[in-house]
Structure 1
Amino acid sequence: MVFVSKKKQKLLDIGFKRGETSGIRWIKNKYGKDTSASTRYERLERSAFNARIHTSDNILTFRDVDGSETPIKPLRPRVNRASYVDRFRLPASWKVHPDLRTNKIYVPALLQTMMSTENRKHRLCNSKCRGDLVIDGAASIKWGFGWKERLKCTRCLYVGKHYKLFNEVTTKGKGRRSAQINIGFQIGVASTSIGNTSSRRIMNASNIIAPTPCVMQKQGNKVWAALKCMNDNSMAAVRKNLVDENAQIGQKTPLWSTLKGTRVTTTQFSTLTRHRFKPEP
């Protein structure tokens, strides 16, 4: 007699016998229509979004011509797309882009290169055009304090390419390079008592488009880390030179020259002992 455990015997009693049809086979299941499969999501421009969306009980829905709801659900709207006619419309005195009335920082040598090159290309493309080349303020690209600009004609459909009107930092790595003005600004902030917030207030009061706080903070973190590394290396070189000079002239090495990871500007270091950069009391 084969021994069968209590658990297995219970499963054998509940289950159907071998060769017989399962009772689950004859159970009829009812399947409803899946509403999630027919639901579609659309993202319209802001002008079309305001014209087509119906607000009911704080719920945004699309309405059909008969007023019934549709299975299409709206997403947050996109920015209005500028039409081809609006891009090349003749600018009037009151139609100048607002950014062109602010104070931007350009490199004069790069600006005159852009103007002379685009004027030459414009004459080659359409020698009979008497329009003026103006900066396309709607297509300006901001890179911290630097700008990339392009020129367009006020009469014909000529549009130039974008030019970098700032100098870049020479690096060996790949990718987008930092602007010299952005790094120089963060070095100046690190050497003064003001921060990025106060600097942005000064620039905004001067009608200068300041970089965003997030961009300034990221750039500042990189610059401050590099300054700290340079400060540590400079202090290490000073300590090493003093040890070598004292060994040559036969003097004792001071205690502070053997410490590592210290800088001249640290409060803890300057309060413990005196060094040659601190005046005698």
Structure 2
Amino acid sequence: MVEMWNIAIQTHADEEAEVCAVPQFKINTEEKWGIGWKYSLKCLNCGYISPVVKLYKEITTGKRGRKAAAVNINLQAGLLDMPLGKSRTRLLQADLDIPPPAESGMSKLSNYVSSKTTDLNNESMRTKVEEVKNDKICGFG
């Protein structure tokens, strides 16, 4: 958020320095991406509109379409180990006045995170089995 304000103030100063000495910003656009957001600001004095800034980091999933927001993947990874499911998470967010992400998007990310977690667990187990096989003390080597 601080980076967004700094970008808006700096670009406003570079482009509108002679026209507007004291900017007064308000939110111009906001776009929700799961639980991440993108914003742009507008100066009420001169009409300057800042570039749109993502308030989340993106992660390449290898699938078509927009990149996933890291915060959305982290939410799904956290939900894997909790009895709280997608529906209850959405209800909790709505009760806290946080616009919940779409259930279909949460399902897609949940499937992605589950498959990556399974792959990670399989690789870890494969490594441990190899270590046991190569260990002379256990008599397997």
- TM-score, normalised by the number of residues in structure 1: 0.45
Is 1:202 aligned to residue 97 of structure 2? no
1:172, distance to aligned residue in structure 2 (A): 7.9
Is 1:142 aligned to residue 32 of structure 2? yes
* Structure with the higher strand share, 1 or 2: 2
1:160, distance to aligned residue in structure 2 (A): 1.6
Equivalent residues of 2:39, 2:52 under 8 A apart = yes
* Structure with the higher helix share, 1 or 2: 2
Equivalent residues of 2:40, 2:50 under 8 A apart = yes
Q: Map 1:174-189 onto structure 2 (within 5 A).
A: 176-189=66-79
Match of 1:235 in 2: 125
Is 1:251 aligned to residue 139 of structure 2? yes
Structure 1 residues 175 and 181 mapped into 2: Cα distance closer, same or farther (>3 Å)?
Answer: same
Match 2:48 to one of 127, 147, 158: 158
Q: Given residue 120 of structure 2, which amino acid in structure 1 is its aligned partner?
A: M
1:144, distance to aligned residue in structure 2 (A): 1.3
**For 2:105, what is the secondary structure of its paired residue?**
helix
1:156 and 1:210 map into 2 onto residues whose CA distance is 35
Count of aligned residue pairs for this structure pair:
139
1:214 and 1:160 map into 2 onto residues whose CA distance is 32
Structure 1 residues 173 and 186 mapped into 2: Cα distance closer, same or farther (>3 Å)?
Answer: closer
Ranges of 4+ aligned residues in structure 1 off by more than 4 Å:
170-175
- Across the aligned residues of Structure 1 and Structure 2, the Cα RMSD in angstroms comes to 2.5
Q: Given residue 144 of structure 1, which amino acid in structure 2 is its aligned partner?
A: G
1:134 and 1:250 map into 2 onto residues whose CA distance is 68
* 1:66-118 Cα deviation digits (max 9, x unpaired): xxxxxxxxxxxxxxxxxxxxxxxxxxxxxxxxxxxxxxxxxxxxx22221222
* 1:142-194 Cα deviation digits (max 9, x unpaired): 21111110001223322121111111226788863221111111110001111
Provide structure 1 residue ranges, at least 5 long, that are not aligned to the other structure.
1-110, 254-281
1:209, distance to aligned residue in structure 2 (A): 1.3
**For 1:157, what is the secondary structure of its paired residue?**
coil
Match of 1:133 in 2: 25
Match of 1:260 in 2: none
Moved more, 148-157 or 114-123: 114-123
- TM-score, normalised by the number of residues in structure 2: 0.84
Structure 1 residues 252 and 135 mapped into 2: Cα distance closer, same or farther (>3 Å)?
Answer: same
1:250 and 1:204 map into 2 onto residues whose CA distance is 55
Provide structure 2 residue ranges, at least 5 long, that are not aligned to the other structure.
none
1:194 and 1:121 map into 2 onto residues whose CA distance is 43
1:131, distance to aligned residue in structure 2 (A): 5.0
